[in-house]
Structure formats: structure tokens, C-alpha cells
Structure 1
Amino acid sequence: MPAIDFIKRTAAVFAAASVLVTTVSCSKRTDPVVIWTDNPEIVSYVELFNLSHDNEKAVVIYKEDPAHSLPPAKDEVQPDILIAPFLKNSGTRKYFTPLDYLIQEKSISRASFYSKIIDYGVINEKQYLIPLSFNLPAIVFNKKDEELIKTNHLLNIDQIRDLAGNFNKTYKSGAYSSMGYAPSWDTEFLYLVTKLNGTGYMEKGNSFTWNDEALQSSIQKIKDWTSEKNTNTTSEQNFQFRYLYMPKYRQVTTDRCLFVYIPSDEFFTLTGTQSAGLTFRWIEQDGTIPVEDDIVSIGLYKHSKNTSKAEEFIAWLINEGTQKQLIERTENMKLDTVNFGIAGGFSSLKVVNEKYYPNFYRQLLGNLPSEEYLSMPKILPHSWNNLKANVIIPYLTETTNTDSQKEPATLQERISDWTKQFF
């Protein structure tokens, strides 16, 4: 199914689900599990659940920001389950029921999870959330350049910088004819460097705190990379404007650059044609691969009116056999170029990744993330994406620009401005 058809279909199903919730709420004949989510894949999962269960049914209500939608409005249909990122914070945790009993009673084994992933759902020593999926950062390059990369699975920032610098070539005029990689090409890469360097962004009220020494060290590291390898930020951006106007996956096939940064959910939804000739390494630093911030988790709403059936849905979804079916269903419906794995990422169940993912994503054969390398984000506010886009990214863009002549606003000043606007 083409991506656009899937999107239209998903929108229609979300709309139909909302109508169905209203209908069944006015009728005592049915009592479905109500799921709030921003993840389109859950619609397909609910379809399969309903087909395979006679006595339990579920419906989906789309919420653009589920974590920010609690508590429900007075006249709104209450959820039983939330499936979304950024559920682990002080603003939402009070709305969830601890699920330790569910893991014990419904044969959900903690041992089947990546230990760091399942522990991410623990708050105050109680399992408030069950993580469903996660993603990882990858550096992607042309297979023909594999001989330049001496490591098999991982690359750290220093290695990426040096390999990229060695790839650089210039015309007689001094302008670059090829440039291995430049930090200023991708603001998400700038942010990733700060995470790898230990900046440790963490919730503090409606805002966040951070290790400023690590942040300033990250900024200097990026500026040194630009100055030592690529002359200056202007040179990097001129090169990008001149040569890298095509999609990322095509940039490394032009011989103009060596690397592009693509997270796992984007890389593994490339079509076979798009990914042909490409390979990748996981990005690490000091033996850790940072898990992307938007971990998708499941929470059981504290005031659920349908708790027992909600528990059945959660137990069904967090099951090896179910997830195998879901991956196969995605493949059979030709949605694998729209959705990656389970709920858009690696499964939180280690066995699912190891047994089934390499069958559908051949580049993962022998290159699955190793559990000991995973590094989890700290607790982040539910508005993290907004904060990152409007505060952190502009700050990093300005402070890492080697050609900037003005003193940029501090991060704290930007937070204050953002707070005035939204609170």
C-alpha cells in the first residue's frame, strides 16, 4: 500500500474509532478498551486484536499529544490505556496505575525485555509504564566506502570526524569538491553530540536542567571539528546548499559526502531501492549508544473504567507471538516502508528483535544493538519536543557557528522567553 494511501486510511480509521467510542459510550451493549495514542500503527494493532478476540474489543482515539491531554476534559470519553512517548514525567505519572502486578499475573516476564528498557518505566521503584519500542542513532554511508571504516558495528564522534575530514577534497580555488560530514548540516546531530558528551538533559518543573560544563564542552568540540576539518560554518553550509539538496539517502551515493545521520526508524523505512548500496554503524561514545528520547510506552490510566480488558490488551501486545504477527502483518500489507518494526522502532522485547527483525530488515543480521551499550534518556518534560525545537536547537545552531559575530542569548534566557510564551 502506498504511503499516502496508508496515511489516508489511518486518518479515516482514527475518525471512525472516535465515532465508535461515542456510539458505544451511549450503549450498554459493548464496553471497549479505549486507547489514546499519537501512533498510527496502533490502529492496525487494534484491528488485529479485535479480529482475534470475541469478548474483548478496543477502539483508538487519536491525540496529537497524549501526554499533554491528561486529565480528560469533563465531557470527554476517558481512556483506559495511553500508548505514546514522554509519558514518564511529573505531569503524567500521577495518572497511571503501577503495573507490577500485571507483569506478575499476566506472564509478562521482565527477563524478556532489555533490562535498561523495562527499567525506564520504573518510577519510585514501581513499574508505572511498560516501554513498547525505541530507536537508536545511526551514521549511514555508501557500501563502496566500507573499506574506509575499520570498525564493524560502532563509530564514535571522534572517528566520524576524522574519517569525514580525510574524505575532504578541494578545487584549486579552495572551495570544497567533497566534504565527508559537517555538524552544521543536521541540527539533530548537534543535539546528539551534546547527549553523547554527557549534557544529561532532565525535567525540572515545566522546563529542564542540564550539565552546563558538558554542554559547553560539546559546543567547543563541534566548533573545533568545523574549524579544523571544514574551515568554517559558512564553508559547510555553502557546500550543503550547492551539493546536498537531495534526500539524505542519496547524498552519500553522489561521492560528495561520506556520511549522513539517520535514526533507525528513518533508515529502516527506506525502500529497497532507496537503501540499495547503503550501510551503517551505530553511533556511540565511551561504550554507550544513546536511545532516542521518544520511547513509546504503555500506561494504564488510573481511572480506567475497563481495567480488566485493558490488562488483556496490554498482555496481548507485550507478547512475542503477537509481535511476530504484527511485523508480518506490516510486511504483508506493504507498510514496511511507512512503519519500522513495532510501533515505529525496535521492540522492547529482546527476543523479538533477535528472532524476527533480521528476517524483515536484512541489514540488522549480525548488527543488532547490544544490550550493554544502551543508554537511556533521563526523565524529560512532556513538552520536550517543543522545548528542544524552540530552545535547545536554536541555541546550539547559534553557539556552534564559527562565523557568528554576535553574542547569542544564553540557554537560560531562551528558557525564560519560552516559559513566558507557553505558561
Structure 2
Amino acid sequence: MTTALPAHAPSYYAATAVGLRERPRLDGSATADVCIVGGGFTGLSAALHLAERGRKVVLLEAKRLGWGATGRNGGQLHTGQRRPQDWIEARFGREEAHRLWSLAEDAKALVFDLAARHDIACDLTPGLIHALHRESEIADEKASLEHMRAEYGYDKLDFLSREELRAAIGTDFYAAGSRDRGAAHLHPLSFALGLAAAAERAGAQLYEGSPVKAVRQGRRFSVETTTGTIEADDVLLAGNGYLAGIEPTVEARVLPIKNYVLATAPLKNAAEIIPGNECIADSRFVVRYWRLTADGRMLFGGGETYGNREPADLKGFVRRYMLELYPGLADTPIDYAWGGTLAVTRERMPMVRRVRPGLYAATGYSGQGVAIAPFAGKLVADAIAGETDGLDIFSRIPVPPFPGGTLLRKPLMILAMLWFAMRDRM
């Protein structure tokens, strides 16, 4: 007897997503040009772009399309890579930094293009504010904005004084900040489901409830699930934080961590809190991020855990961070609270590359997945079609394994995360 597909996390996104429906499980064996493991932004974008090129594509999702970080994140479309450009320049040199910047701008543009071209209703809204929680960061922020204008010609950044920031985000908790008029926010699960529908229209076959047990390589790849097997010439591993046990060289380089989000009941004064309707992310290592939803709720993310257990009281766990910034919301009901798993790399730069002939991996977005993940899927699709320039740039980014391999990476990373979290509080 076939068991029912699992329900999505009890999130605001799942309750309001456009296009939410079940897909079939894989039943039996089949062949494909490309098999994609994972039904998030990366896998769905790759499926769409490959199918548009005429490739026979099969995508296997263990749970539901958009199940992981794709359907649970803050919905913020940031500019640039996860690391700031001055860090990238120091690490990789000026020319490579410009190449990575151009790719990041292309990634952001791709989201807008996909939403428009496929008529995806995902509440795509411009504007992002970066809030500084220490006065000592102000000089560096101003220098960074000037550097982005002078070096990269990016003129969509505006500095915000403490008073200007307070007026923009409705709290005086922060020292200053900046507004990015080129960034945006969206409903991530609706965006993912829009990509899924577009991929299916292009001819891709998408399966849910089909967890991959192993990927074996012979004359072709054999992707084995609990209910069938796909034989394919190429395989893309796009499961991000949910790829344990499939490919050791990838697993050793990414660490799954859990992050948490809530959504309040609709607010009567939502437009007064964030009058420009931007999303906001602060400068802490353990980032706090928030925005208003299309129906006027406060959607707030904050707090991480690094073990296997989630907090017993998810609403209370995140609510305390929100009330530090907005004590006036103390009596506002919390309608939704959920957690999810994302994947980080040691240096917070993504792992997007060909692992070996025919096997590709795109993972480790470290909180920058709304922009980079769909683009990574396109780059892999391009590379499979023989256009490797974009993938080659990402492939030159070193992604070292975590110390201690899969056995010790988590306890060592927990110690590092706790140190940075303590530094945030101090």
C-alpha cells in the first residue's frame, strides 16, 4: 500500500503557496539524459533549462518539491555573493572578483526573468535594507558602498543614518544601515512551484516521495530510489542540506544547520513599520532577517541550532528575537512558526562544479540560495550542453572539506558557531 506524501512544514508559505499540488512517485525503472537529485531551486531551474534545450530530464525529490530550504527561507534576494566583494578581492584577486560579481548580478536578474517569463505569482518586491548592529561598523559600511560604486559601478546602494534607518524599519535598535534598491524579496515556495510548472510544460518529469539511496557509476549512472531506478548519462546532486550518504566528496564539504522563522497574524499598522516594504537583514554572524508579507504579516527569522533537535517551542524561540527589535508586537499572535535545514561551507562560498565526469553538484549556498541556487541550476544545464564558462568560474572557488570529515565536522563547527554567536551578543 502506498503511503501518502508528507505534508510541507506548517509554514506561512505552505498555507499560501500558489500552485501547490502532489506529483507522482517514481514507480519502476526509466532512462533519461539527465537525472536530478533534489527538487529545490537548483534542481527545478536545472530541469527547466535542460528541458528547454530538448534534454530528457527526470527529477527525483525525496519529499515534496520545495521541501527544504527552498520552501522555508526568508525569501530575500540579496545582491552579490554570500561574502562581501572586498573579501572576495582579497581571496581571489580583482579580475576573479569582477567575474564573480557579474555572475551574482546575472543570478539576480535570472530570478526576475524567470518570474516574468513564466508568469510566476510569487510577490516579487524590490528593496533590501542592511542594518548595522554596532556603531563601529559604520565607517566600513560607508567605505563599502563607495567601493561598490567606484569599482563595480553599482549605484543602487544608499547609506541610512540611525534616524533614516529608524524611519525605514520602525525600530531604533540599530546604529545605521544601507538600502539596496537592486535587491528584492519574494514568496519562495510559490516561486519554486512556478519553476516546477514551467519545467513540466517544457517536458521534464518531476517525481516526489522518491528518496535516492545511491548513485552508482558504470557505463551510465544508476540512480537508485526505494521504488525504482533511473539510468542517465549525467547526474546533478541538488539536495543541498539533505544529501547525507550519497556522495562523500560533497558531503564532507557542506554542513547542514537549522534556522527558524515565524509569521505573525496580519498587522493593522504594517505599512507604518516598514513603509518602503523592503526586506531587512542585519550584520550579525547569526543573521536576523525579516519583512512584511503580501497580506501584512511580520515574517521574522532568527536563531540557529546545530544538533538534531529543534526547540520545543518554535514560536517562543524566534519570538524573543523579534521582540528585542519590536517590543510593540508583544501582544500580536504568532500564526506560524517553522524550521528548516540549509547547508553551509567552511568559507560560505557555494560548491557548484563537476565532481567527476558526468556528476555535478550544486550546494552550500550558506544563506544566499534565493539568488544563487536557481542560477547554479542554469549553469549546470549550460555545462551539460557544452557551455562551461560560468561553471568554470564557480569551480575555481576552493571548497575545502570540514576538519574531521563527516564524523567531527559538526562538533567542531558547533564550537565555531557558538563563538561567533557569543561575539554577536557581546
Q: Which has the higher helix share?
A: 1
TM-score (ref. length: structure 2): 0.22
TM-score (norm 1): 0.22
Tell me which protein shows more strand as a share of its residues: 2
